[in-house]
Amino acid sequence: MAEEKPNLRWEAEKGLLKKNPVFVILLGLCPFLAISKSVEDAIGMTLAFGFVLLGTCLVTSLIRRWVPRDVRIPMFVVIIASFVTITELIVRAYSPTLREHLGIFLPLITVNCIVLGRVEAFSSKRSVLESLADAIGMTAGFGLAIISISFIRELLGTGGIKFFGYSFTIFGQPASGFLLSPGGFLVMGGILALLKKLGVI
């Protein structure tokens, strides 16, 4: 019987909405809500998260047949930590301001349950192409979630958007409470309710 070919398109698209790591699976909410106060920081976090997830899933899939089952979790953590260290050094060298804004949440990608979950549940059991497709989809889903929430929070909390040196003021009476953690939960809850109403998730 011929082996069924993997559906790479589905693997890449599922993380965007159907299995969005934030809106559907509800993982990694602590750093997610802490960083989602600024669009610039959200984009930076998405790039850092994506680099770590793609690199980790690639290496894990390549070596999966030679990793003993008893040490797979420590091995995965070491691989994730290696890519996080590389990411942190790059960010520190080229964007110290972003490094300052992301703070402790950049090195904490090492224990981010989205990354460890995708490695353990998917890339440790699938081919390289499937693992990369899954990682791309999960990164896109993470980025969609954090950037959309940060856009709303920054807009409502500051009255405008600051984007790579350019400031756009929309209204003059901001509600600064949206920059606090409760504001993040309110915005996220509103988006989840809307997506549920539309039948997207």
Specify whether the CB–CB gap between 184 and 201 falls below 8 A: no
- 3-state helix, strand, coil split of the chain in percent (to 5) is 75, 5, 25
> Beta strand pairing status for 160-163 and 166-169?
antiparallel
Which residues, including other chains, have CB under 8 Å from residue 120's CB and lie 6 or more apart? 72, 73, 76
In the structure encoding, which two tokens stand for residue 145, read together? 């979630």
Where exactly are the structural domains of the chain? 8-196
Whole-number pLDDT of residue 160 = 87
Q: What pTM did the predictor assign?
A: 0.90
Taking only the tens of pLDDT, the chain with its 201 residues reads 445 567 788 888 888 888 899 988 888 888 788 888 999 999 999 999 999 999 999 999 999 999 888 888 999 999 999 999 999 999 999 999 999 989 889 998 988 889 998 999 899 999 999 999 999 999 999 999 999 999 999 999 998 888 777 787 887 788 888 998 888 889 999 999 999 898 887
